[in-house]
Amino acid sequence: MPWIVALIEGRRPVLRTRLDPWLAIFTATVLLGYWASYNRVEAISRLWLILLGILIFYNIAHQPLARVWSLFHLGALIGVFFVAYFLISIFMQYLGGISAGSGIVGMVIRLFSRLPQIQPNIAGGVVAMLFPLSAASLIVAFHNKEREKAVLQGSLTGLMLIGLIMTSSRGAWFALAFGCLAGIVWGYAEMRSGCFKSGWIAAIFIVLALLAGGWVITNASGQLPTLIDSIVPGAASAQSRAELARNSLKLLEDTPFTGSGLGSFPGLYSRYILVISNFYFGYAHNLFLDIALAQSPFGLLAFLAILVVSIDAVIRSPKKLRRGLDRVTVIRAALLASFLIILVHGLVDDPIYSGRGVVLLFFIPGLAMAVHKYGNSEQRSKGTPSIQTVKRASATTPMWIMFTGILIVLGLLIFSTWHSITSVWQSNLAALEQSRSDMVQGIVFDINTFSSDSRVEQSLLDALELNPNNRTAHHRMGMLALRHGEYERGAMYLEAASALDPEHPGIAKALGYAYTWLGEIDRAYSIFTNFPETGYELSLYANWWLTQDREDLAEYAAAVEMMLRSPNITTSY
């Protein structure tokens, strides 16, 4: 309502912040993600949630310092809500599975058991992100000897900690420990000396170091994830997360300019990576990959820039900082810890983008902008800085220098690799069109319900003419040929794609099916030995082809399935 009144009066509905340019780019990529998505129903829902998160950011960013402290309390309450909802939904589903009974109690149990569950990793990630806010409130209340507030904040903090333990999210545990330790060390150094006059170098180093560490873990051999699984208690997941991240990067290679669209990951990963007819993974379990896949790498770059600018705003010392346990320093240390938790946990899971928690995506950056406004305004405890002050501060920001340099480098790269870039652009658009067709019709290869898509095929052929080594074009041409029953042609394109990317599981598995439908049983078997699930899938295909009056293909499927069950059996094919 205040924004509407401001527009009617001819004033800006919101004042400017240092994040405005990057939020504008991020918003543009959200709209791009909606356009690219094959699932428009899910995409529009996510679009509104992300826009709501941006509105929440602007509402928080311009709050005075006194209200910022209240927002810390709100963050603690949100964390406790996530804990309560997670535990209640799990408990009610357990009771509903035993016996709901009749009467009011049974009705309540059935009602709560039907509520959508929060995944443990999602709940753990959100609670870990908000935990430093509650801990900071507890520290200040304890230091000021405010007994009632200390008891209340201690209870909230304890509940959040118990809930975090109950989620069994090892990634959230590690991120919380790392973030809190770093925040405590930084806060102590700041209270002692206040030597952090600029945080640009530190902010950029933190982001790049963590992303580099995630890349090393993702691309390392299986020994490192296996070692992590053996050291960290709990169910083994590091190896599967590393594999999921590698495969998600291969999915991103299909649409590097546009991304695959909001809410598109489950279908596309099943169709082009796992080659199965049902959804298996709901998201990439990596914050940065999920953003890049949904909103293109440009959306990811905008998000990383938002984090860098926000961390700089937190680290940069106010001009007049009181030494000792200053409340503002505690706030800044808590925010730094939250940012590090987002970065670290984002490498192994995605608690604040993949689900409804996306409305909290810019909650911490909003608090950082509010605190930065306090530290750089003459009105330390009262007012909002003038538009001219913020504009002058952001106009001299080094980010624009870095941005200009990036544009120059990109311009030179585009000029020198124009044909390859044009080829990738053609295959990108074709991949989006093919995905919409596949997902509308379904994931199962039903040659009787698919008609030829000449636009997709022509775009892929144009991409191959510009660059014969375009892996995506070969892969998608092979999938298109299989869908129309052109198995020999499909095998030809998939063999070329496999030669370009031997580690791509979707290409290898699709090629195995092409060999199966061609009756090349031994070649199919040699591929399918790396995919244990194909034995069951082939048994389903054998029955399905019989319903389509294709006894030859049913026999081929049954023969490969029999060899997978009993490798010593030989066939006559």
Q: Quick: pLDDT tens for 41-95.
A: 899 999 999 999 999 999 999 888 778 888 998 999 999 999 888 888 777 666 5
Q: What is the pLDDT of residue 476?
A: 94
State how far the Cα of 21 lies from the Cα of 429, in Å rounded to an integer: 27
Residue 556, token pair as written in the block: 């081929």
Cβ contact 296:29 at 8 Å: yes
- pLDDT at res. 149: 84
Q: Give the pLDDT of residue 269.
A: 93
The torsion angles phi and psi of 39, rounded to 5 degrees, stand at -105, 85
The radius of gyration of the chain's CA atoms, rounded to the nearest angstrom, is: 27
Quick: pLDDT tens for 381-392. 444 444 344 444
C-alpha distance from residue 30 to each of 1, 13, 122, 436 (Å): 24, 21, 21, 18
Domain ranges of the chain: 19-381, 413-510, 519-573
**pLDDT tens by residue, 291-322:** 999 999 999 999 999 998 898 888 875 655 45
The CB-side HSE value for 328 (13 A sphere, CA atoms) comes to: 27
Cα diameter, the chain: 87
Q: What is the mean pLDDT of residues 472-484?
A: 92
- For residues 489 and 480, is the Cβ–Cβ distance under 8 A? no
Structure tokens at 362: 């810019």
Average pLDDT estimate for 262-275 = 92
Does the structure show a pLDDT above 50 at 188? Answer: yes
Looking at the predicted structure, is the pLDDT value of residue 355 above 90? Answer: no
Check if the beta carbon of residue 76 is closer than 8 Å to that of residue 133. Answer: yes
CATH superfamily of 413-510: Tetratricopeptide repeat domain (1.25.40.10)
Report pLDDT digits (tens) over 485-529. 899 999 999 999 999 999 999 999 999 999 999 999 999 999 999
- Residue 34 banded pLDDT, cuts 50, 70, 90: very high
Q: For residues 18 and 62, is the Cβ–Cβ distance under 8 A?
A: no
Instruction: Count Cβ neighbours within 10 Å for each residue of 86-120 and write b for 16 or more, e otherwise.
Output: bbebbebeebbeeebeeeeeeeebeebbeeeebbb
536 CB-contact burial (10 Å; exposed 0-12 / middle 13-18 / buried 19+)? exposed
